[in-house]
A and B are shown apart, each in its own frame.
Chain A
Amino acid sequence: MLGGLLVKFAFVACLAALFAFLENHRSGNEKALRAARIFFLSSVGTIVLFSAYQLYNILTHQFQYTYIWSYSSRSLSTPLLISTFYAGQEGSFMLWTLFTALIGVFLMRDTARKGYEPQVMTIYSTIQAALLLMLIFKNPFLYVWETWEGQVQAGFVPVDGRGLNPLLQNYWMVIHPQVLFSGFAAMGVPYSYAVAALMKRDYANWIRPATPWIVYGATVLGCGIMMGGFWAYETLGWGGYWGWDPVENSSLVPWLFSVGTIHTILTQRKSGAFVRTNLVLAMLCFITVLYSTFLTRSGILGETSVHSFVDPGMMVYWLLIGVLALFIGIGLAFLILRRNEMPKIPPTHTFLSREFALFLGSAALVFAALFITVGTSSPIITQILQGKTTAVDISYYVTTIFPIGIVIAILAGVGQLLWWTRTEKRGLTRVFAVPVAIAVAGTIALAFAARITDVRVALFVFGSIFALAANLVVGWRIVKGNPKYAGGSIAHVGLAIMFIGFVGSAKYDEKQTLSLTQDMPVDALGYRLTYTGYRPIDEEKYAFEVQVEREGKRYTVAPIMYYSKYNEGLMRNPDIVNLITKDLYVAPLSLEQEDATAKSSAQRFRLKKGETTKIGDLNVTFVDFDFPVIEKAAMLEGKDVQIGATLLVSNYGKRPKEIAPRRKISRGEVSEVPAIFEKRHEFTIASMQPDRENKGRSEVEIAYTDLVVAAQTPNAPNPDVLVVEASLKPYINLVWSGVIVILVGFLVTMVRRSQEARLKMTSEAFDSLKVDSLTPLTKRESHESFAGESRHLATPTPNS
């Protein structure tokens, strides 16, 4: 009751703030601005209050609330109990709202200092109001008797909750969603700034105060994506760090847009060009967050994803569409309204300039984002185009993103080596010589060492090494000059390292499914693995210990498998041997009992056409498949078919006899008809590989059983067999360290840009804000020199 009221109050206060900020923007009325601030802060205060109230309810087990009953239980530890705050859909919207509100307080102070407060806060309040509206309709404070009206007596308090999905019971759950949702919340700022710029008719200056916020959003969201990847890899056992799942894609796309925006904004700072591009890209940072939310929360993806999405009902579906349409509408309306006023600043740069490289890089990022969006939306697209829902295979993402990756890698190096506006062709060779030489040498060395045969992979490796070398050279000089300016170089070094890690871990991984009979060593992937038994680790979980040995070194991994009552299914967590150059990844599949019955004592053997093998005293030759034309016709028509494998069998050099075990296929069902030789030797078809083009390559696999021996074999006690998927992921550590280096680069850039924005705003007071957006280029140039650009190398500087 109280919670629901607080949500409504926060919504109303937020709307009041919106209109008061708008009024101040229109009339400049100071009273309206003061009122707007109070409204906004009271909305934020109320959001903090109801979030705290919800947390209190969770910690004190108030199971009369449907949400708390659904996700929480008495048995959870305190950190996990706190994480149930955002375990469900309502709660994650609440977390998003909370972060939006908290960021809003800082944004309001910051924009006030920089003269953008009424406009930015009008739009930002709209975002906050939209989120609060979601909470009104998806109320996390509903009582159980309100959810099941008429079925549950009012005032009923369940004894315990249903608990948190064991898949989520992990320390990553405590931290990852918070980082991700603060990233989502931060993406509201570039959108607000872009629309504010259009409201203010200020098309040039907005990028200065907005840049630190965009970099902040990219940093936080990037950090969240990395944590998600690590969680999936380390605990969830998805086999890799990235599976192109809609949920993963939905955070990657806004991130790509934000990184693209950072690059084109850099160009606008220099030359003033890309006014429209930057406005649109900054808006897309947030619009893609909303679109992703719609995709993953509306239930529209249905059965096409590994995640089983919950259908939240039609109301939420339309509300999400409404919110998406609202923010696209606001952005589009302003772009159309101001289309003739926006300055057209022709690009002054040549093809051989940093601007052009930045533009291409940004375009590549946008294309990657678009391809991913199209792939993620494929169920919707195919539904519209062919009336049938289909989803693209994961290979779609690999084929489309891979070439873009090559382009991005090369541009990440080229862009750093080029000079703004134009680069003299004379100095070019000198600057490019070293990185290109290193890249060529490195690629050739790696191509031989890792036996790279795919040209695309070779190009990718070349691009990555080139980017690494170029950015190390450039970065080193910048660090010697002023480390604050090294953010870009650091981020690109990280990118190159990560790319090299991608090649190692994804292209050269080896995978093998192993059946480990207890205490029987199995050699695979250069390691000796022995399953030694299992031990319980808590109520329902079991750890399956596997000894791993290589060259005298011993490791123990203990992947976990358990039957979860909550999910009514088998849960599996992998375990990893972390080595510097690679990971040995052991994912449990199942625990089986070895089948020691007669059937499995069968011997299996493969024969090519015309080949002979010896089994005991028997000579067996595979003559051919017995597959008459009539049967072929029957198969095409889907009728019953019989296929035989003609074998020539002889015992002790006696006269050979032809027998033919058969396989019957009737309405999709297969049955085997064994052939018995001399009443003792049974032959059954295990599998067939007919080769239509080259009949000589046709193969058959036959299962042979000595019926006399089988009858005598007693049923021995069955040892446990642990089935695991073992895989080697070479150089996966490069992926993680690369991502971390990228984030460090972002942080450095963020600090630099926010200092710059502050300096500029204070030193020039509000002077620059009053300047018409068509400030002559010379004036802007002087601003830049004030910022102290000193990171160019292409043109030799006097002291170098």
Chain B
Amino acid sequence: MKPKVIIGAIIVIAFIIFGSYSFLESNVEYTDVSGAMRTHKKVQLKGEWVKERESAFDPKSSTFTFYLKDESGTQCKVVLDGAAPNNFELATSVVAKGRYVPEEGYFRATEVLTKCPSKYEAQADELKKNT
């Protein structure tokens, strides 16, 4: 029994250390534009799409470019690998995952998540739309 308990405990502790290490390693922090500029790490840049400014897909490089405005109003160019995500036009807020490239002056995103206004928040006047 004794050696089994010891072996078991070692395995459990090893797994816990391994798990917490991986957890901290892959934890991606939320930040704003100035926070993203300050670090080389992968971050999640949270903000709003600036609809007035250029946003386009470039078929040559297969990237989608748009401008993002964070809570403080600071704007930043975001270049996403791929096309605009689903529901992009409708999103009330977007979260771009990636890192800031100081040489290029833009935020290189690998993924953009969109948060859409909830369909549950239907208003009463919508009921009468079809009448």
Enumerate A446-472 residues with CB–CB distance to B below 8 Å: none
From A205-213, A477-485, A660-668, the one touching the partner chain is: A660-668
A513-B82 contact, Cβ under 8 Å, with A158-B128, A378-B27, A688-B104: yes
Q: Does A681 reach chain B (CB closer than 8 Å)?
A: no
Q: Is the CB of A590 within 8 A of B83?
A: yes
Interface string of A40-77 (1 = CB under 8 A from B): 00000000000000000000000000000110000000
Q: Would you give the shortest CB distance from A751 to chain B, in whole angstroms?
A: 35
Chain B residues with Cβ below 8 Å from A391 are 27-28, 44
Q: Is the CB of A515 within 8 A of B23?
A: no
Q: Which residue of the partner chain, among A152, A643, A723, contacts B57 with CB atoms under 8 Å?
A: A723
Give bound CA distance, A670 to B77, whole Å: 8
Q: Is the CB of A592 within 8 A of B105?
A: no
Give bound CA distance, A687 to B58, whole Å: 14
Q: Is the CB of B104 within 8 A of A310?
A: no
Give bound CA distance, A388 to B30, whole Å: 8
Chain A residues with Cβ below 8 Å from B77 are 668-670
Chain B residues with Cβ below 8 Å from A367 are 15
Chain B residues with Cβ below 8 Å from A667 are 74-75
Enumerate B79-131 residues with CB–CB distance to A below 8 Å: 82-84, 86-90, 93, 95, 97, 102-106, 113-116, 118-120, 122-128, 130-131
Enumerate B18-67 residues with CB–CB distance to A below 8 Å: 18-19, 22-23, 25-30, 33-34, 37, 42, 44, 46, 57, 59-60, 62
Q: Which residue of the partner chain, among A160, A390, A570, contacts B28 with CB atoms under 8 Å?
A: A390
A396-B30 contact, Cβ under 8 Å, with A303-B113, A668-B105: no
Chain A residues with Cβ below 8 Å from B4 are 347, 351
Chain A residues with Cβ below 8 Å from B76 are 668
Q: Would you give the shortest CB distance from B75 to chain A, in whole angstroms?
A: 6
Which secondary structure characterizes the binding site on chain B? mixed
Q: Is the CB of B114 within 8 A of A308?
A: yes
- Among residues of B, the one whose C-beta sits closest to the C-beta of A156 is B127
Chain B residues with Cβ below 8 Å from A152 are 124, 127
Q: Does A162 reach chain B (CB closer than 8 Å)?
A: yes
Enumerate A343-382 residues with CB–CB distance to B below 8 Å: 346-347, 351, 363, 367, 370-371, 374-375, 378, 382
Q: Which residue of the partner chain, among B44, B59, B82, B90, contacts A568 with CB atoms under 8 Å?
A: B90
Q: Is the CB of B62 within 8 A of A723?
A: yes
Q: Is the CB of A303 within 8 A of B115?
A: yes
A569-B89 contact, Cβ under 8 Å, with A311-B118, A668-B76: yes
Give bound CA distance, A800 to B33, whole Å: 72
Q: Would you give the shortest CB distance from B46 to chain A, in whole angstroms?
A: 8
Give bound CA distance, A156 to B124, whole Å: 11
Q: Is the CB of B128 within 8 A of A310?
A: no
Q: Would you give the shortest CB distance from A563 to chain B, in whole angstroms?
A: 9
Q: Which residue of the partner chain, among A156, A303, A594, A663, contacts B93 with CB atoms under 8 Å?
A: A303
Give bound CA distance, A305 to B4, whole Å: 41
Q: Is the CB of B124 within 8 A of A151?
A: yes
Q: Is the CB of A393 within 8 A of B28?
A: yes
Q: Which residue of the partner chain, among B18, B37, B103, B124, contacts A400 with CB atoms under 8 Å?
A: B18
A393-B75 contact, Cβ under 8 Å, with A388-B30, A725-B82: no
Give bound CA distance, A399 to B23, whole Å: 10
A308-B74 contact, Cβ under 8 Å, with A374-B19, A592-B59, A668-B105: no
Q: Does B1 reach chain A (CB closer than 8 Å)?
A: yes
Give bound CA distance, A393 to B97, whole Å: 9
Chain B residues with Cβ below 8 Å from A375 are 23
Q: Which residue of the partner chain, among A70, A396, A725, contacts B25 with CB atoms under 8 Å?
A: A396
- Among residues of A, the one whose C-beta sits closest to the C-beta of B94 is A303
Q: Which residue of the partner chain, among B44, B88, B105, contacts A670 with CB atoms under 8 Å?
A: B105
Q: Is the CB of A374 within 8 A of B118?
A: no
Q: Would you give the shortest CB distance from B115 to chain A, in whole angstroms?
A: 5
Q: Does A771 reach chain B (CB closer than 8 Å)?
A: no
Q: Would you give the shortest CB distance from B105 to chain A, in whole angstroms?
A: 4
Chain B residues with Cβ below 8 Å from A643 are 103
Q: Is the CB of B86 within 8 A of A669?
A: no
Q: Is the CB of B37 within 8 A of A371?
A: no
- Among residues of A, the one whose C-beta sits closest to the C-beta of B106 is A670
- Among residues of B, the one whose C-beta sits closest to the C-beta of A627 is B103
A162-B115 contact, Cβ under 8 Å, with A382-B27, A690-B103: no
Enumerate A484-530 residues with CB–CB distance to B below 8 Å: 513, 515
Enumerate A138-158 residues with CB–CB distance to B below 8 Å: 144, 148, 151-152, 156, 158
B residues near A (Cβ < 8 Å) are: 1, 4, 11, 15, 18-19, 22-23, 25-30, 33-34, 37, 42, 44, 46, 57, 59-60, 62, 74-77, 82-84, 86-90, 93, 95, 97, 102-106, 113-116, 118-120, 122-128, 130-131
Contacts A151-B124, A303-B113, A513-B82 supplied; 9 other A-B pairs, CB < 8 Å: A152-B124, A156-B127, A393-B28, A589-B83, A665-B105, A667-B74, A668-B74, A669-B77, A670-B104
Question: Across chains A and B, which 5 residue pairs bring their CB atoms closest together, nearest first?
Answer: A589-B83, A513-B62, A515-B59, A396-B26, A670-B105
A residues near B (Cβ < 8 Å) are: 69-70, 144, 148, 151-152, 156, 158-160, 162, 165, 303, 305-306, 308, 310-312, 346-347, 351, 363, 367, 370-371, 374-375, 378, 382, 388-393, 395-396, 399-400, 403, 513, 515, 567-572, 589-590, 592, 594, 635, 638, 643, 663, 665, 667-670, 687-690, 721, 723, 725
Task: Give me 19 A-to-B residue pairs in the complex whose CB atoms sit less than 8 angstroms apart, sorted by A's number.
Answer: A144-B124, A148-B124, A158-B131, A312-B120, A351-B4, A390-B29, A390-B30, A391-B28, A392-B26, A392-B27, A396-B25, A515-B59, A515-B60, A515-B62, A569-B86, A572-B86, A667-B74, A668-B105, A688-B103
